[in-house]
């Protein structure tokens, strides 16, 4: 799959990428997701099959392969 970015006309190359799915206060990180990534603007596009599988992760209880600690910072608490 090598084509042209619909947003900027840049070249799209196949990569694996990290997708972050947020549902309320839950965040699920999916690693090594096949995607077309624009070399110019960084826009990612996914095949219908990949989108379907990511929707499965969003909807269903999936077993985590590993877990990360995720810091949460309020912007107002960040020094200027």
CA 15 to chain centre: 12
Contacting Zn ion (CB under 5 A), which of 29, 43, 45, 54?
Answer: 43
Q: Which among 23-31, 39-47, 59-67, 70-78 is the span making contact with Zn ion, rule CB under 5 A?
A: 39-47
The DSSP symbol for 77 reads G
**11 lies in the site for Zn ion, by CB under 5 A:** no
**10 lies in the site for Zn ion, by CB under 5 A:** yes
Q: What share of the chain is helix, strand, coil (3-state, %, to 5)?
A: 20, 40, 45
**4 lies in the site for Zn ion, by CB under 5 A:** no
**38 lies in the site for Zn ion, by CB under 5 A:** yes
C-alpha span between 80 and 77 (Å, rounded): 9
């Amino acid at each position: 799959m090598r084509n042209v970015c619909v947003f900027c006309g840049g070249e799209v190359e196949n990569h694996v990428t990290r997708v972050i799915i947020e549902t309320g206060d839950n965040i699920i990180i999916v690693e090594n997701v096949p995607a077309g990534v624009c070399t110019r603007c960084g826009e990612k596009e996914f095949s219908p099959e990949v989108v379907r599988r990511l929707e499965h992760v969003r909807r269903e209880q999936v077993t985590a392969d590993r877990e990360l600690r995720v810091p949460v910072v309020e912007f107002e608490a960040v020094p200027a």
